[in-house]
Structure 1
């Protein structure tokens, strides 16, 4: 009999040998030092789910096999804390490298760095750091810089957060894996060596790092704590969140699988009514709600009954009701014969109940009919407003459709006081814009089309949603969502609270003077946004209606490009598109007007007109202007006749230090509004040139700046341009230096 039992045991072991994922070795450790090791992680080949979850323990510390990456904590909710070396580079007083540990890398391809739980940090007064990642065959980078030219006073900065003075921090991009980070110095710390001789860069878990000015002398740690997002992936470790539902065999029978929010693989979650480790075969156990506070009225003749995954309440014998605190509870049953009038009372109550049920039924039928009618109206409006076409267009833009929220009619009516006239922010060719306040007190701008059902306006509406759904730029107004079930379609944008650019440069609308520095920055931000549309968007976008009323300003006078109703998506293999001419008088590209061929240079022309408005303080078209109603033509004539200073805004000319920059921007605007589109610069070139002008003024540490400005002024005044007017061309040396400067500053940022 003992031999027969042994044989049966061996057969059972052989039958379960292939079920490695559902069986655990009895000798697997559950802890390494002070760190718990939850399954699917394990130390040893038979203790983990697969190779991605196999760890090593040297007795006191938990780490990845073959690496020195120490694991500090593993959460069953999908996050892992690890220790990572700080990137640092230090210099001696002469500017030579004293210590070079400027490169740090994290090679764990299975798990991405958490974008929600980490920050990338650079510390130093002459410092910039990079965070790099390789994903889907491409390299990605981000970073930040911090500068300061003196030791911050301890009394003022004690406990001050990392805000840019000696320390900067940025968010970690989504889905970064195989990361490296590097620290650098602009000038080898020679200007700040007395109190800061090192540059540092590292990824830190939110809340684990608090900056102190004393860290500029020496960072008191060599490693930082960062967080990884972990999930179960297929054998090739590349399962995406958009893949079909993951296999259920890995999860406990009482658990469900859910695609990971990081886009890699999936996670297991215990079903409601169960708790424990959803990955372990014995993990998800029933929660006995009867041993915990519940909704059963135990103090009033009720009892709790537990079952797998839930519970119910019942009354003790002799009592009736559902036994719940928030229900009918339990009341004593009374037999009919103990009360002669009880039966009559029950009959009367029955008749009343029947009448009440009948009335309720009729009311419900009327309510259902009304609801069905309203539903049909909403569906009809959805179809008439191009809802199906919009959903089809959005589905073709993979990854962007989730950014657009669909609001219902009641939400937006409440937000605008039923579209009250006092809430109107402005009216335009595409419709009326209202200010709204959402239930969470978030201010928004709600755009309402003029006429519902107009095929042309519906096409513009769909186009604007599709274009804005793929744009994510700080200088472009963000689309929050739309509403299609109303009579006319509605778009919901972020609220920009300081009006349009034209409101601020037109003396008749704004009594406060905007300085040249602010105007130049607004021009640079607008140029960068348009350059992003042309060059960085997944499908290039031509705005087709760039003008000063479509450039909004926030309370800090930061530019936001808006109104994409006329925009066009132009595939990368198309250099231009034949369209019906559309735009605004005064900003419309003459070449596009004549040929009907739309390309990126059409936006360059319109932006050039905006530059002229910033320089002159005049509107693009003024029919009461005596010499020339069209501002662009008047500006070109003034340059040809060497009358540039006569047309510029007099308030700008009062500041003599702006003369060189005014002339540079004036001739940049002239190049943008050339009749021949091929002779115009690209928006990327325009943005770089404007950033270069700002950088020349912003960084006093650049040597020889004053001498260079004097030489530049001389060249601007004495070198004739292609039209024969004095001062209309830049020297090649200045242009080269300027572009180099723009490159260096952008790279450091």
Structure 2
């Protein structure tokens, strides 16, 4: 029983030993590594158990006394290359000769390596034929059914031949395909050289190393019979690990590393054979030696070949090398040179500059933080935080808050050529924002503390006004000491210019002026009735009614505007409005209401009706106020005294009388007796429907077309006109003739 257990244990030990024993034979120290002048490197070997397989077995034979050469079979081995996977051997030359009697002597050879690790190199070998009137064939198998090719060599005159030239005259060469492990030679007997006695009577054919062959005319010029079969020529063979079960490519062979995998070195890589099946082993980059031995690949000393520049020092590393240069110089891997270490010089030189720059940057950062803090204080002071909170809560609010940098850029740093309006308390610039949108930017010179506190709330309300007859507030800039407003750009001047301009050639029709007045009334009605809370304009006048590219009315200038007071006891203590348009009731009570705007609009109706300015500084004191003169004329039933002749001649009495009556109601001394702006807008709409005479209508249409087709309002010379930019104290800003007018 004990013997039985002992047998089982011994069997297990032998099995484990077999599993850990490499299947690939490793040559022992007794195996010779040289024969004559040829190194015999594993997987090749001489003797038993000295090679990887029988196909790599070589013999070392004494060819002369004391001279030994290696042979693979009966073929002399010239050298072995592990890196290239090639060997060089001496291949016999086939001959085809005729003697002087015309008898043929043929010695043809075949070379069969089809069952070995070798294939003829298609890159380094060529089938070479020498002779005159010669056709030789090369066969890739013994049956003659596989690949075959031929080469023809002819001669005409000896002078046609040239040393080193193998192009068909006396010599020809042809390439072979990949994968050939067998070749045989045949000559075509129809090409008889026995009749060409002035040339050699022999022809030669061999598969040989192309680089080792150099044609000589002496091969052809001899006429002596040279029937030998001892000629040899070198041939290059590609070899690979392809014997038996090891005829695998790398991917399959690496899966069998514990079996017959031949790349035993840890620093080796497998490479697929380029000529037939199988694989080769190479040492990894930076290593050299024999990859077929367990520790055969060792670190290559690249420094022995001086890869570094002459002034540099090479340091060998595991699997590579490094170059260094003496102090003050730097190695460049791209150009492999030691150049001046500019970085070190620049570093030392620039140290002080860096210190200065960092100090300067620190100072600039400190100043920038101070500026940012000031801007934030201005932003909060002007109600920016309240504005942002409301903008977040009210979705769809089309209002932009511009930075100071954006405003500076849009006005080209407040260039003088961009000024479209200027006065003692503010300047208006034309700017371009968002790439192409023209805007008018009001840069106020002074804002009092009360306006600063209410600015954010007022901007939020004004930003929600979206009416075709009200100039739209696009946005604002709050991070400056005095807030700046950004309005849409209106190009065609004001209603004041249209009525009172010196250039009378335009002959504005009454119906056009009435239309503009009606549109202005619609805009004011929107402020009073639809804004939440209602907005009182506070400075209604013809200079604050702008005209767009289609001469549509746009109510502007909300600088004097206030929100409708919720507390009836709330009063406005600062004088609002413009002389000639001021509500007398407001002058007594200091309470600004919607009816204050109605009174001012009544003065606008008088300007449309009479063509006169609201206040004349010259002339008798009793005739200076247009509203007083008008009310006196209405009281005396003498309206014709204040009407111009062209209005009396063109318009119907009903229209004139209706408009005068509406103006009279607006100018009532008691605000409660005045109509609302909605009633005024409705009445103006009704009056516009009163058709003028047909010829007057045609003239009005022609006049409107003339306006839209290019009549320039800039041709007016303004006399006593007030601008669309009243200041905080009611001061009027004189404008350039082509200026547009916007709210403060």
Whether TM exceeds 0.5 here: the answer is no
Q: With CA pairs under 8 Å and 6+ residues apart, which has the higher RCO, 1 or 2?
A: 2
TM-score bucket of the superposed structures, by smaller chain: 0.3 to 0.5
- TM-score, normalised to structure 2, is 0.45
- TM-score, normalised to structure 1, is 0.45
